[in-house]
Amino acid sequence: MSSHVGELENAYSGKRIFLLGNGPSLNDTPLRILDDEYTLAMNKINHIYDSTSWRPDFYFVSSPPDNVPGAEKLMNFIEFNMGNPNIKCLLNSTYTNHISEGYDDIYFMDRIKLNTGINPFHLSSLEEIKQMDLNHLLRYWSDDLSHFAYHYHSMYEAVQFAVYAGFEEIYFVGTDLGMEYSNPHMVSSEGLDPYKFEGDKYEFFRTAYDEGKLASSFINGMALKAIQTISGTNISKKFNNGSSIHFDGKYLQDLKIHDYTKDEIELRKGHVATKRICEHKGIDVFNATIGGELEIYPRKNIHDIL
């Protein structure tokens, strides 16, 4: 029977939980050692199920169905997890009309995004988040998920759930960071980058000509146009080299041009806010990821704590 996440308030008071990101370090993480721990995983974690008997206690999908690349396949993942009687599914409330009857342990969550004019968390820099008055920072954190959670990235919302559910010790696993710029259109490293160029195509070619890089820049420009044309099609999957920011190269199956370095700054902002707010609430938060570049929280060796 479907419920609202408000029913889980303080249901796990005093317990500890491991929150799993989908970084490449999961391939080096023996997930079976988490079998006796509370765990939360999200989105396309199903890609790892074939290699482990481990399953999460909570499966979390924050993005609404119409905003997720490969939404139809994600719905298959959601229904797979809903079919496991040991997994509680935490879903964006907009999935209400997409879920069939007959499933238990489905909990819906409403959310408010923090990258809007009303809640301009995104306008603050990383340094400003570090120095922000705590009372002001708490405006970007929901203590009552029976109303809504604040969303900035999925893990930020997941931590709010963990705190709301009463967990007092939180460990991150598979939160690698260290993301890079995905630029499959840059056939020639000598040419200009048309994706990042500020100006129209005439200015692009004029600049390339002035810098003696016209031919190589033209090739990059044609590659960009081709990728943008075929992106999301079966053709693009044939050329896909896989995702280097996830544990499975098939996680993102299309050719994707994206500056993940900008995303990483936003992820770090959410983690800095999480650390400060959880410290204020007396909740211990650690990073138990194997490797990676998330150094905002104290490190714990996953083998030492299990």
What is the fold, at CATH topology level, of the domain defined by 2-179+260-305?
sialyltransferase cstii, chain A (3.90.1480)
pLDDT of 245: 63
List CB contacts of 157: < 8 A, sequence separation 6 or more. 60, 62, 109, 111, 149, 150, 151
Distances (CA, A) of 73 to 53, 101, 252, 283: 22, 19, 12, 36
CA atoms of 140 and 63, how far apart (whole Å): 18
Angle, helices 214-230/201-210, rounded to nearest 10 degrees:
150
pLDDT of 72: 61
Residue 236 banded pLDDT, cuts 50, 70, 90:
very low
Residue 232 banded pLDDT, cuts 50, 70, 90:
low
Could you give the residue range(s) of every CATH 3.90.1480 domain in the chain? 2-179+260-305
Distances (CA, A) of 205 to 150, 193, 226: 43, 11, 18
pLDDT of 248: 62
Please compute the mean of the pLDDT values over residues 73-90 and round it to a whole number.
Answer: 81
Q: End-to-end CA distance of the chain: give it in Å, rounded.
A: 33
The neighbour count for residue 100, using CB atoms within 10 Å, is 7
Among 63-67, 93-97, 152-156, where is mean pLDDT lowest? 63-67
- pLDDT tens digits, residue range 103-158? 778 899 999 999 887 878 999 999 999 999 999 999 999 999 999 999 999 999 99
Bridge partner residues of 286 (DSSP): 171
CA atoms of 78 and 99, how far apart (whole Å): 9
pLDDT of 270: 96
Q: Residue 71 pLDDT > 70, yes or no?
A: no
